Amino acid sequence: MGYRDDLVVDDRRNGIFRVHRSLMTSPEVYDRERRALFDRCWLYVGHESEIPRPGDFVRRGVGGRPLIFLRDSGGTVRMHFNTCTHRGATLCREDAGNTRVFQCFYHAWSFDTTGRLVVTPGADGYGPGFRKEAHNLVAPARFDNYRGLWFVNYDAEAVDLRAYLAGAIEYLDLVLDQAAEGMRIVKGAHRYSVKANWKLMLENSIDGYHAPTVHATYVDFVKDTGGGQRKDALGAGNGVDLGNGHAVVESPAAWGRPIAYWEPFFGEEARDEIAATLARLVDRHGAERGRRMADTFRNLMIFPNLIINDVAAITVRRIEPTAPDRHALEAWALAPAEEAEGSAALQRRLDSFLTFLGPGGFASPDDVEALESCQQGFAAVREARWSDISRGMTRESNSQDELQIRTFWRSYAALMDGSGFPERVTGVESPGEASGSPAPAGSAVIR
């Protein structure tokens, strides 16, 4: 059975788009996703600011594989699979730190930060054919970065990262250029698991349609503190297909954000500072681009599982599948390097992040409840088989439509069927337009 047409129905003539719910429940689908998506696509690992000094490391599980993301003793960023080449034990057992040597706890084989095997206890027990250099740590096939955001690809034949990112680069720059001295990950992370299929979190993170209902409590909080949603925000903006599966939903800032849109709950003392931030952006980037950075929300999806929320604060959110009906989520706050630890600007940013996006905030617990409720409903998949994602197919997209979610599913279905990324959608998904188009020149092709 093909994924396109059979399991993802894209009927542009009639404005119907639906997804079979077995894609959220089937162990066979989950296994196929590992091979078709997570073994082939570029996957986010971390930001260079997490490993600023030689010897700094963090450990990550990415695409079902254990990795060490580090800066070696010479200052070069590297990645090693986190498995000892002797018997396979996990080599690095701490989440983060600084070291000159990774020593396996099992038999004490030891490796330097470049991955070179340097110590084998009882070396005289090995025969003449044993060579240390044959047991150096193994690196992934490809790893590269875009402006400090580091990605890994397990396919040696993958297209280069910049080509893969395609139109997402414009929106990454809108985030990264908000800093004068570069962006950094603020220390600490949010880690939690959700009893729902990973694709539900992906959908939800770029879905504007649910905000007025699921996040009504936050809307009431803003109103109760003397603020309120901008009249031009609801439904304004649009979703955009950025090519190669990536998409964004962008709209006028609906609620306060520390960079430019003041709300009373930020405190009266923040009003002038927020205005000054906007003025600096306009001075550096011009009025149109500076105001776009500061005064719009954007939820950016890098296919298949990275979300950058530039909303109440800037959040880097990585979604890791762990079972057909469960996923893990790891999220970090991204902030300009010039916002020093302890500064009022950084504290305001983090307060806004925690209030809305934190695991105990107004938004995230409601989102988790919604997704887990969907997963429970999928127990009736034999009888209630389809989810509908048709909103906005027959008009120019707005921020409450679902073009950006359809962008994910079109690429998902094409790659699961073994073909390249589908043609990028521009303008209205008009009646009569053919679906399942081949990848155009310049788009990444994954086989």
Conformation bin of residue 147: beta by default, left when phi > 0, alpha when psi is -120 to 50: left
- Quick: pLDDT tens for 167-180: 999 999 999 999 99
Residue 413, H or E segment: helix 403-416
**Percent helix, strand, coil in the chain (nearest 5)?**
30, 25, 45
What pLDDT score does 417 carry?
96
Name 49's Cβ contacts closer than 8 Å, sequence gap at least 6.
Answer: 148, 182, 183, 184, 185, 337
Give me the domains of the chain, ranges plus CATH numbers.
Answer: 43-157 (2.102.10.10), 163-380 (3.90.380.10)
Contact 20, 313 (CB under 8 A): no
Rounded CA Rg of the chain: 23
pLDDT at 439: 36
The secondary structure of 340-395 as a DSSP string is -TT-HHHHHHHHHHHHHTSTTSSSHHHHHHHHHHHHHHGGGTTTS-EEE--TTTTS
Quick one: pLDDT at residue 82?
A: 98
Give the pLDDT confidence score for residue 180 in this predicted structure. 94
- Is the distance from CB of 437 to CB of 423 less than 8 angstroms? yes
Q: Which residues contact 124 (CB under 8 A, 6 or more apart)?
A: none
pLDDT, position 235 = 62
Closest alpha carbon to 404 in 261, 300, 285: 300
- Other CB atoms within a 10 A radius of the CB of residue 126 amount to 11
CA 164 to chain centre: 15
The one-digit pLDDT tens for each residue of the chain (447 residues) are: 689 889 999 999 999 999 999 999 999 999 999 999 999 999 999 999 999 999 999 999 999 999 999 999 999 999 999 999 999 999 999 999 999 999 999 999 999 999 999 999 999 999 999 999 999 999 999 999 999 999 999 999 999 999 999 999 999 999 999 999 999 999 999 999 999 999 999 999 999 888 778 877 877 777 777 776 666 555 678 999 999 999 999 988 766 777 777 778 788 888 898 899 999 999 999 999 999 998 888 999 999 999 999 988 899 999 999 999 999 999 999 999 999 998 988 998 898 888 888 888 888 899 999 999 999 999 999 999 999 999 999 998 888 999 999 999 999 999 999 999 999 998 788 664 444 443 333 344 343
The pLDDT of residue 397: 87
pTM: 0.93
- The answer to whether 388 and 17 have CB atoms below 8 angstroms apart is yes
CA–CA distance, 118 with 376 (Å, rounded to integer): 51
CB 358, CB 364: distance < 8 Å: yes
CA–CA gap between residue 339 and residue 106 (Å, rounded): 43
